[in-house]
Amino acid sequence: MQTETSKTLINRKKLLAMIPLSERTIFNMEQRGEFPRRIALTSRNVAWDLAEIEEWIETRRSSGTQAMRPGFNSSATTCGSAPLTDKSAALLRRQ
């Protein structure tokens, strides 16, 4: 017996209503493999599989971790890209 699977596709407008990220951020995440890939319907129209988007949301919800900002290092106090010494951190606190 065959199981029928329903493939519901959503357009960009519906995706952006579900996911509060910019189009560019979503595109970048797709390129890094961190977000479901779009499906090209025509040369000017793309869509996403609703089930994949809902699964992505649920995975994010259940992971319990928050995404880190690019370049952010939680293991050390930093200023730019160089770690702060105790002396420089004290100087910054005084300012």
- Confidence bin at 37 (pLDDT 50/70/90): very high
The answer to whether the beta carbons of residues 67 and 61 sit under 8 Å apart is: no
Q: Going by DSSP bridges, is the β-strand pair 82-83/78-79 parallel, antiparallel, or unpaired? A: antiparallel
CATH architecture observed for domain 8-65: Orthogonal Bundle (1.10)
How many residues would you count in the chain?
95
User: 68 versus 16: which is more confidently predicted?
Assistant: 16
- Taking the complete model, does pTM exceed 0.85, yes or no? no
Q: What are phi and psi of 8, to 5 degrees?
A: -100, 125
Average confidence score pLDDT of the chain: 82
User: 88 versus 44: which is more confidently predicted?
Assistant: 44
pLDDT tens, position by position, 1-23: 555 566 999 999 999 999 999 99
